[in-house]
Structure 1
């Protein structure tokens, strides 16, 4: 039963959960290719390492603008055939696929930054309503399972996407940055990612249905009222004052968590190239080899997260969701910081296991905790607003981490990665102060 509306939601089978979550397999293909390869693409096209975090600003700024707007619009959408969230799944997937095809064909740095902006906006159009989709369709006893299923597909998609450059290289495709251009291994990976993104999201669009608003007359009346531009803007930006207590507490956790993740995504490639491969030259063969190896590292943490997705709810039932999340963040923080101490390539897989546990929890527990505190009719909007606390720390990181790396770490980006580990440890401590009053998780799936 939905705690806000009193409506009884049907319990979904394993395969219904599978179908409604499968689109995340494609969405994470896009994000994984972006996270593992964007810094490599920027560096290959001549980016100054000190400015990498600034070039990445396109992604979080886009999310800041897109997510609450899409959440608001999807809350106020209903079509007898397409439903509420699925129109946004489809449109975002189509645009993201186009951007994934364009990204590796960038011939200049400004082009790559512009395409990153387009790609991140499109991915967000698809992704943000997926979080609300779980709240729409599942009652409290299945919501953790729903987010866990999403996490499973996120992990699976990220493993395959992260390994694609290595796979193409093993098949004989060139991994050389000939003439300062993006290697063929990266280009072919993005082409495959674009196709898989679109097809996976299309699967969910065609196989999952949606529950209509319980009171259609009231929904239509409110939707007519919301069509006023002034009302829409006031509601979108007025929600900060109406955030539930749990959402405010989780905001601080998210802030430091995503500073850590952004540091990892931006700087792991250059950090490993420096400490393990012994180069800072982005045009060198060793630097490109480091880029491919980082893809393998990211595949490991993504694979661990896929496996952990179904284990964490069991521990959550035995303890609590916030205890599980705090523990996973602490393990992830120590693991991320330990990268600064490792100079042997294969040993880098060990901290990725800990990062994978943290990633599984990051994608599951905060959203499961939050969903129980939100009004059902505003689920999409508040989920979009919650993502402000994913993108704001990324913007702060983009503006500050370059200077920190240059002035405090003498350009050694591995220390910036370690600093991210410290931020994740702080997030673990803050999690212990979160209020989780939702109904206990009764069943995994």
Structure 2
């Protein structure tokens, strides 16, 4: 069942695709502030390194639960003014913005963890339909451009968000001193700005883009015949999981290896740089520790600047190498970048390491979805995009539950060694991609 009244989706202009994807700038702005600062916030509030993975459990658990449900619901939604996916963008943006304002005012670990559950649930409400939104509105030839545009906005937003805490100090005189709750003032104001940017960027996409109404006037009844109500939704989700297309299963295996490598980077890269390379800690040398965090965030910002620039070249590499080998090579480069972090002798070398990860990140955010979109039934685009997220969040759940013990007993709380393990996982994902994924299916 097409969502477009025409038999063929019309070709959209560059600026129409830009408008469709701009909301991702706001979503990623908020997400990047969370990824770059949550481990530090937990440590500022008294958490130890082995506690960090468990405290991050909110992100994968909410993704596992929320994304397929939102996908299922958005497949069955049609609002005369807001369309199918945009109502979810808007509700998620409002809730996420409120949570971003609350997060830096957390006064205890349990409060920060609770707000993170709310924040991640809300971000997932906005994020999941965006993947389906591109697949709904672009034909197969333009889908790589649409997903690459999302990667571009993700890279740009992450670049700005990574520099924000440092630039608030340098340009506007905001203090690095801790507030009464224990969170540095520059991080607090960064979250406030992130909340505003999140909402405004999503509002722009809601206002400036459109969706095609269903071609079949009886579409709702036909979907409801497959499953209606809560139990119908559960049945439909399980049925879709058991009947996944073969290409989706292959890509799921690649993602299952890719994302733990990224999670280990997010868990430990910033705090590892602050403690192992700068020699700071959260008590006796808190200012050195904060400067190390800021330096790590600026190198992560360069990662995302590379993602921003490299995303423009992805259609070229796809034409030359195909989607499969483009993704394979990018994963190999990203793995090499993460492994190199543990061998740097000068902090400035981290820019090169993170630049390599930026190439992989551009591909991770676009190539799997581009390869996936062509093998999914159009009327189940939302639910399958949500289910595909299982293979991102399940390995994160495993890491959150068990890696703390590995961190303490095997890696002896060596944060940068954990990042190196993440690099090895990206290389493993590249090998699997080259062997099992089909180029055209």
TM over 0.5: yes
Which residue in the other structure is 2:311 paired with? 309
TM-score, normalised via structure 2 length: 0.96
Shift of 1:100: 0.4
Cα distance in structure 1, aligned partners of 2:245 and 2:5: 17
What is the CA deviation profile of residues 387-427 of structure 1, one whole-angstrom value per residue up to 9, with x for unaligned ones?
01111111111122221121112111110000000000000
Cα distance in structure 1, aligned partners of 2:36 and 2:283: 15
Cα distance in structure 2, aligned partners of 1:180 and 1:203: 34
Which residue in the other structure is 2:22 paired with? 22
* C-alpha contact (below 8 Å) 2:3/2:212 kept by paired residues: no
Which residue in the other structure is 1:160 paired with? 160
Q: Superposition RMSD on alpha carbons, in Å?
A: 1.8
Which secondary structure does the structure 1 equivalent of 2:142 belong to? helix
* Aligned pairs (5 A) from 1:89-238: 89-170=89-170, 171-177=172-178, 181-223=182-224, 226-238=227-239
2:437 maps to 1:434: yes
Cα distance in structure 1, aligned partners of 2:93 and 2:105: 19
Between stretches 114-123 and 168-177, larger displacement belongs to: 168-177
Q: Which residue, 405, 412, 417 being the options, matches 1:415? A: 417
* C-alpha contact (below 8 Å) 1:277/1:290 kept by paired residues: yes
Cα distance in structure 2, aligned partners of 1:311 and 1:24: 19
* Aligned pairs (5 A) from 1:358-373: 358-373=360-375
Shift of 1:3: 13
Which residue in the other structure is 1:271 paired with? 272
What is the CA deviation profile of residues 142-176 of structure 1, one whole-angstrom value per residue up to 9, with x for unaligned ones?
00000011111111111111111011111321112
Q: What runs of 5+ residues in structure 2 fail to find an aligned partner?
A: none
Which residue in the other structure is 2:342 paired with? 340
* C-alpha contact (below 8 Å) 1:275/1:343 kept by paired residues: no
Shift of 1:225: 5.7
Number of residue pairs matched? 438
Which residue in the other structure is 2:295 paired with? 293
* C-alpha contact (below 8 Å) 2:331/2:426 kept by paired residues: yes
Between stretches 275-284 and 158-167, larger displacement belongs to: 275-284
* C-alpha contact (below 8 Å) 1:405/1:415 kept by paired residues: no
Which residue in the other structure is 1:60 paired with? 60
Between stretches 142-151 and 393-402, larger displacement belongs to: 393-402
What is the CA deviation profile of residues 265-291 of structure 1, one whole-angstrom value per residue up to 9, with x for unaligned ones?
010122112321113435611111111
Which residue in the other structure is 1:246 paired with? 247
TM-score, normalised via structure 1 length: 0.95
What is the CA deviation profile of residues 216-236 of structure 1, one whole-angstrom value per residue up to 9, with x for unaligned ones?
213344236633322111111
Between stretches 199-208 and 223-232, larger displacement belongs to: 223-232
2:384 maps to 1:385: no
